[in-house]
Amino acid sequence: MKIAVLGTGYVGLSTGVCLSDSGHEVVCMDVDEEKIEQLSKGIPPIYEPGLKELLKRNIGNGRLKFTTSHKEGLHNKEVIIIAVGTPQSNNGSADLSFLEQAAKDIAENLNQNAIITIKSTVPVGTNDVIKNILKENLPHDISVDMAANPEFLRQGSAISDTLKADRIVIGTENKQAASKLEKMYSILHIPILHTSIRSAEMIKYASNAFLAMKISFINEIANLCEATGANVEDVSIGMGLDKRIGEAFLKPGIGYGGSCFPKDVKALYHTASEHDMNFGLLEETMTINNQQRELLVWKALSRFGDLNGKKIAMLGLSFKPETDDLREAPSIVISNELINQGARVSAYDPVAMNNAKKVLNTQVEYAKSPEEAVLDADAVFIVTEWKSFVESNWKQLVKEMKSPIIFDGRNCLKEEEIIKCEQVEYYPIGKPKI
Ligand code: UGA
């Protein structure tokens, strides 16, 4: 099949790369010339396991191309996938301006009938808005079918999530479009759910909001476990064994971040309020998450009384491991708060240092290694659960510190190793301290 993808962010790029690897001819488009130039040479703009290899293979076999020209990219395509960003506007709703521009670009350059498939996360009803823009601007002899085909991939495992998704949701307005898109994905052997366009749009928001709610729920349970002496890890396992609840996304921590959950929970809340509904559950999910981001600072304050002049090593800056993305990362709130409290922050991340330097407080100091970060530190905060931190020699690391105090915001260090460290104080989340 001949496919065009508009937008080469996480979603567009992973989709384009995986569809070309499935045997389709794919052209990915973006307005960012430098990005397209790099991608054409097989250089990925983001850190994502497996992406580089797939890029290389499919550019090499001629099935994957990149261009900034809509005319060239849209020429003779049967399926057009829109995967441009829908960032948050000031009032919390999704900003659809990139999507509207994409629709105008398609209308101006499309040379045959096609299925316009929106993969970007968009509020219910957006397909209709885009269809109207297309109708107004397309030549009279060209017609399009609309489809909503939300994406459920996670950053850090985008390629494997795309190739091995739990489900593909296809919302269409007619059977021809539905069966064509089903055919496009058939080689992946993933269960497909066909719905109306509006239901498909809602499935994406409802799924992200539900997962975010699960995280906020377990974080509150973790806080209650600390107060009552229970162990949240056992509680999560015990809950997750019930198939109706499920074990996933019950890991407590310092709150969810990233480019999706915070934005999508807000946008769904906004949609509800547009329909005169106060979705209080979502409001509470957001409030809990904001509080949870400050948890390590509160714990350190309660341990030290005052953080003025204290050196805190912050290990992990990206919003989660296997990505260099700092969007809505807890590290931003934590470092700002530590600096407000008069602490010195020495930060280290295995891949996100360059991005961190662009967004973190200018007073944050950057270390070249975990060893350098913890040197003479009064405490260390584990902010992201990178494998390299889990596997570090903690017995040795704590010896470099002024006082061997660890606040583990991700419950990722191995307690059996920590116990072996001399005079260590270890504060996990939702579990008794060591
Ligand atoms: C999320 C969804 O998981 C994807 O299904 C969805 O496609 C994507 O948003 C999107 O809308 O594009 P992502 O933001 O990449 O994916 O990352 P997740 O792995 O879901 O993690 C989000 C945040 O939740 C991270 O900060 C992570 O640390 C936190 N989290 C996750 C927890 O605190 N506890 C958990 O048990 C799981």
Q: Is the CB–ligand 1 distance for residue 180 below 6 Å?
A: no
**One of 225, 260, 412, 421 is an active-site residue; which one?**
260
Which among 275, 283, 268, 229 is positioned nearest to 433, based on CA atoms? 229
Q: Are 25 and 3 in contact (CB under 8 A)?
A: yes
Predicted structure pTM score: 0.94
Q: Quick: pLDDT tens for 105-146.
A: 999 999 999 999 999 999 999 999 999 999 999 999 999 999
Q: What is the CATH number of domain 204-291?
A: 1.10.1040.10
How many Å lie between the centroid of ligand 1 and the Cα of residue 373? 27
pLDDT digits (tens, 9 = 90+) for 142-176: 999 999 999 999 988 999 999 999 999 999 999 99
Q: Is any atom of ligand 1 closer than 6 Å to the C-beta of 215?
A: yes
293-427 has the same fold as 204-291: no
Does the interface ipTM go beyond 0.95? Answer: yes
CA–CA gap between residue 130 and residue 141 (Å, rounded): 18
**Separation between Cα atoms, residue 181 and residue 225, nearest integer Å:** 47
- Nearest 5°: phi and psi at 290? -65, -40
The strand pair at 79-82 and 64-67 is best described as unpaired
pLDDT at 92 over 90: no
Q: Do residues 360 and 330 touch, judged by C-beta distance below 8 A? A: no
Q: Is-contact 15 83, C-beta < 8 A?
A: yes
State pLDDT tens for residues 45-61.
988 899 999 999 999 99
311 is known to lie in a ligand binding site: no
For the Cβ of 261 lying below 6 angstroms from any atom of ligand 1, the answer is yes
Angle at 250 between CA 215 and CA 380, to 5 degrees: 80
Q: What is the pLDDT of residue 88?
A: 86
% helix, strand, coil for the chain, step of 5: 45, 15, 40
Does 232 sit in the ligand 1 pocket, CB within 6 Å? no
The per-residue pLDDT for range 8-37, each reduced to its tens digit, is: 999 999 999 999 999 999 999 999 999 999
On whether 327 is known to bind a ligand per the annotation, the reply is yes
Letter string b/e over residues 357-396, b meaning 16 or more CB atoms within 10 A of that residue's CB: eeebeeebebbeebeebbbebbbbbbbbbbeebeebebee
Residue nearest to atom 8 of ligand 1 (CA): 154
In this predicted structure, the answer to whether residue 244 has a pLDDT above a threshold of 90 is yes
52 and 191 in contact (C-beta within 8 Å)? Answer: no
Do 376 and 402 contact (CB within 8 A), yes or no?
yes
Percent of the chain with pLDDT over 70: 100
Question: What is the distance in A from the centroid of ligand 1 to the CA of 157?
Answer: 11
CATH superfamily of 2-195: NAD(P)-binding Rossmann-like Domain (3.40.50.720)
Examine the pLDDT at 416 and tell me if it is beyond 90.
Answer: yes
What's the topology of domain 293-427? Answer: Rossmann fold (3.40.50)
Cβ-in-10-Å burial (0-12, 13-18, 19+) of 230 comes to middle
Ligand 1 atom nearest to CA at 258: 14
Q: Are 155 and 48 in contact (CB under 8 A)?
A: yes
Per-residue pLDDT at 297 exceeds 90: yes
Check if 225 is active-site: no
Convert the pLDDT of each residue in 181-232 to its tens digit: 999 999 999 999 999 999 999 999 999 999 999 999 999 999 999 999 999 9
Q: Is the minimum distance from the CB of 330 to ligand 1 under 6 angstroms?
A: no
Determine if ligand 1 sits within 6 Å of the CB of residue 208: yes
Question: What are the domain boundaries of the chain?
Answer: 2-195, 204-291, 293-427
The mean pLDDT of 358-363, rounded to a whole number, is: 97
Residue 126: predicted pLDDT: 95
Question: How remote is the CA of residue 152 from the centroid of ligand 1, in Å?
Answer: 10
Q: Mapping DSSP to helix (H, G, I), strand (E, B) and coil, where does residue 207 land? A: helix
How does pLDDT run across 375-391, given as a tens digit for each residue?
999 999 999 999 999 99
Interval between CA 154 and ligand 1 midpoint (Å) = 6
